[in-house]
């Protein structure tokens, strides 16, 4: 079996060598890519050979942990084939979420890889100020900072093949390591508060009923998942919780889901959306360019979207689609090609959304 596995893989590697000149590359931050050992956004022949050696047992998984796509501690023929496909067609996919394996900061969605943990561990640092993405929680670190760790309810949701467990705090972590201490200021945008220290974004609007956690300067810093950036009447900008129904807001305290799909007081003036933050389908270079804080940088010219729309719904003028990685995202609706960025290769497809053919 091993010999046949090796023979098949060598044939595929040979194909990759022949087509080396046709490999696609991506600008900007590299995407998570099975077999991309050094995190440079492409898979080379040397990296494919490393994967084969791990699969055959002649090299340790630590030589290139990103070959183990499902975190079971092994490299299979399917994972080798995935790496060969990336070598032939270019790396694609989403940036690593909190808890995903990594080889460098560049392949993590939130820009930090804890290389000292087995296989690397994508995270977001300074979450006491910046908050954590959905599916993760903020903890203090031993170096007096803070970082996000993946939430879990069972060991199967963690990379058990690399030694991770679902610990007593319901986070994916190592049993031999001391559990980090939960950060005290973990209130999400829209949560009640009495002081700035109660909030992950370090801002509490105490003049709103029950207090309202937010993040200031979102025109520059962007907003956490599940919130949108608005201008303030006194100048500056702040994040407000997104919603589709009043029940998603603190109704008992006088909040409603307003015309901008944000949780705000029914009697108060609605904040003004940031004009320089772009709606779904607009071009972008960074997540902070977009009204919903996410930019698909691997699409031509970038593409503003909102993630997790299966839960959060989509803004007006866009529709929600499932992604191959199990997440969901909003795409701009259209009636004709004139509604899309035709000069950059976008068409109005059969789903009446602006996308690349």
The confidence band for 194, taking pLDDT boundaries of 50, 70 and 90, is confident
The residue that leads in pLDDT, 111 or 8, is 111
Q: Are 32 and 107 in contact (CB under 8 A)?
A: yes
Domain boundaries defined on the chain: 2-89, 105-182, 196-273, 287-355
pLDDT of residue 113: 84
121 phi and psi, to 5 degrees?
-145, 110
What's the predicted TM-score (pTM) here?
0.35
The confidence band for 144, taking pLDDT boundaries of 50, 70 and 90, is low
pLDDT of residue 339: 92
pLDDT of residue 282: 92
Mean pLDDT, rounded, of the chain: 77
Rg (CA), the chain: 22
Report whether pLDDT(16) > 70: no
Among 11-15, 36-40, 41-45, 244-248, which range has the highest average pLDDT? 244-248
Q: Are 305 and 280 in contact (CB under 8 A)?
A: yes
pLDDT digits (tens, 9 = 90+) for 254-313: 898 888 888 988 765 555 544 456 888 999 887 777 777 788 888 899 998 888 777 767
Q: Are 102 and 123 in contact (CB under 8 A)?
A: no
Report whether pLDDT(13) > 70: no
Distance (Å, whole) CA 227 – CA 234: 20
55-to-6, 73, 92, 101 alpha-carbon distances in Å? 9, 10, 23, 18
Report whether pLDDT(23) > 50: no
pLDDT of residue 341: 93
Q: What is the separation, in whole angstroms, between the first and last Cα of the chain?
A: 40
Distance (Å, whole) CA 313 – CA 329: 9
pLDDT of residue 355: 92
Report whether pLDDT(230) > 80: yes
- Give the least confident one: 166-170, 234-238, 337-341: 234-238
The residue that leads in pLDDT, 7 or 237, is 237
pLDDT digits (tens, 9 = 90+) for 270-283: 555 444 568 889 99
pLDDT digits (tens, 9 = 90+) for 203-217: 788 888 888 988 877
The residue that leads in pLDDT, 87 or 312, is 87
Distance (Å, whole) CA 51 – CA 85: 13
Let me know how long the chain is. 357
The confidence band for 331, taking pLDDT boundaries of 50, 70 and 90, is very high
pLDDT of residue 79: 81
pLDDT of residue 31: 40
The confidence band for 2, taking pLDDT boundaries of 50, 70 and 90, is very low
């Amino acid at each position: 079996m091993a010999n046949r596995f090796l023979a098949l893989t060598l044939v595929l590697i040979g194909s990759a060598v022949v087509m080396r000149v046709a490999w696609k590359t991506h600008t900007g931050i590299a995407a998570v890519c099975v077999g991309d050992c050094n995190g440079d956004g492409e898979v080379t022949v040397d990296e494919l050979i490393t994967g084969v050696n791990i699969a055959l047992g002649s090299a340790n998984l630590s030589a290139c942990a990103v070959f183990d796509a499902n975190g079971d501690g092994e490299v299979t023929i399917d994972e080798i084939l995935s790496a060969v496909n990336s070598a032939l067609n270019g790396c694609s996919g989403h940036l690593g979420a909190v808890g995903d394996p990594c080889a460098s900061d560049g392949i993590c969605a939130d820009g930090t890889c804890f290389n000292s943990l087995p296989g690397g561990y994508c995270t977001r640092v300074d979450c006491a100020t910046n908050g954590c993405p959905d599916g993760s929680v903020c903890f203090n670190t031993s170096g007096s900072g803070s970082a996000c760790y993946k939430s879990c309810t069972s060991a199967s949701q963690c990379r058990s093949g690399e030694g991770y467990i679902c610990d007593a705090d319901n986070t994916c972590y190592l049993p031999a390591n001391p559990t980090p201490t939960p950060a005290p200021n973990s209130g999400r945008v829209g949560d009640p508060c009495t002081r700035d220290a109660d909030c992950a974004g370090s801002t509490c609007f105490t003049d709103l009923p029950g207090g309202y956690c937010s993040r200031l300067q979102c025109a520059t810093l962007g907003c956490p998942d599940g919130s949108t950036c608005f201008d303030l009447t006194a100048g500056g900008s702040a994040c407000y919780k997104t919603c589709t129904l009043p029940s998603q807001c603190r109704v008992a305290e006088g909040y409603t889901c307003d015309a901008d799909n944000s949780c705000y007081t029914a009697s108060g003036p609605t904040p003004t959306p940031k004009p320089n933050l772009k709606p779904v389908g607009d071009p972008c270079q960074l997540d902070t360019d977009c009204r919903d804080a996410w930019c698909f940088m691997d699409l031509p010219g970038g593409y503003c979207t909102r993630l997790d729309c299966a839960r959060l719904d989509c803004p007006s003028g866009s529709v929600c689609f499932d992604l191959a990685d199990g997440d969901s995202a909003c795409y701009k609706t259209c009636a004709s090609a004139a509604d899309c960025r035709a000069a950059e290769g976008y068409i109005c497809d059969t789903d009446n959304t602006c996308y690349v053919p």
